[in-house]
């Protein structure tokens, strides 16, 4: 693909993301559903792949994925997108931008954590499970650590995908009136919260013992 086509595609995706974000408070439920269904599939997929890497809220795109594609295809897009985000963020974080990203994180009071070899898996699960910090920031900050790619990608992405069942399933249920997936989403959220709580408790004794 020629460079101008890539630039045009990114520009259109960015414009789509900005329009979605700018109108997030003014749209009614019916307007959001109608808007989500009308989104061009190709442009929306491009937006889903690119915008979260530059800081656009993933949660908005997850809801729209559920509306536009339903649960099955919405989760297929989500799975593909989240794995792509992890591949891209890891590659970017280990490129010539490494030092710039480190300075950016440290300038905002977030030091790249040092993680011992035996704690890499549980730390990745816990870090991905914690809500609050922006998705893109968490992607890059974790990629800057010495966690191997296979753990960063397959463990981290799996956690994000499981949590994505909630917004995608709820949005799909709102369109198709299928509450089954809402229950599944609630179960996943509850299970994730319990897992994070267990890992935090497991971490405390280790730190005290050391």
Q: What is the residue whose two structure tokens read 């937006």?
A: 47
- What pLDDT, on the 0 to 100 scale, is given for residue 82? 97
Give pTM, 2 decimals.
Answer: 0.69
How many helices (H) and strands (E) the chain has is answered by 10, 0
Give pLDDT < 50 ranges for the chain. 1-2, 4-5, 179, 204-210
Entry field: residues in the chain: 210
What's the rounded Cα separation, in Å, for the pair 57 and 49? Answer: 12
**What does the buried/exposed string (b/e) look like for 108-117 if buried means 16 or more CB atoms within 10 Å of the residue's CB?**
eeeebeebee
| d(C-alpha 210, C-alpha 200), whole Å | 16
pLDDT of residue 94: 86
**What are the structure tokens assigned to 158, written together?**
């799996």
pLDDT in tens, 29-47: 566 666 667 778 888 898 8
173-184 confidence digits (pLDDT tens): 777 655 455 555
Q: pLDDT digit string (tens) for 46-55?
A: 889 998 998 8
pLDDT at 203: 55
């Amino acid at each position: 693909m020629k460079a101008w086509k890539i630039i045009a595609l990114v520009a259109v995706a960015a414009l789509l993301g900005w329009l979605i974000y700018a109108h997030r408070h003014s749209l009614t439920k019916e307007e959001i559903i109608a808007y989500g269904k009308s989104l061009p599939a190709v442009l929306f997929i491009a937006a889903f792949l690119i915008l979260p890497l530059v800081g656009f809220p993933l949660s908005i795109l997850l809801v729209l994925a559920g509306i536009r594609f339903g649960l099955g295809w919405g989760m297929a897009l989500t799975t593909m997108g989240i794995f792509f985000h992890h591949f891209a963020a890891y590659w970017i974080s280990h490129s010539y931008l490494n030092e710039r990203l480190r300075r950016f994180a440290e300038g905002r009071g977030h030091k790249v954590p040092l993680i011992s070899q035996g704690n890499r898996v549980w730390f990745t699960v816990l870090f991905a499970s914690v809500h609050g910090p922006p998705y893109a920031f968490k992607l890059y900050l974790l990629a800057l650590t010495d966690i191997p790619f296979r753990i960063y990608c397959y463990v981290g992405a799996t956690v994000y995908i499981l949590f994505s069942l909630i917004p995608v399933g709820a949005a799909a249920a709102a369109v198709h009136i299928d509450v089954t997936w809402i229950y599944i989403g609630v179960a996943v959220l509850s299970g994730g919260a319990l897992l994070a709580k267990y890992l935090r408790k497991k971490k405390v004794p280790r730190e005290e013992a050391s």
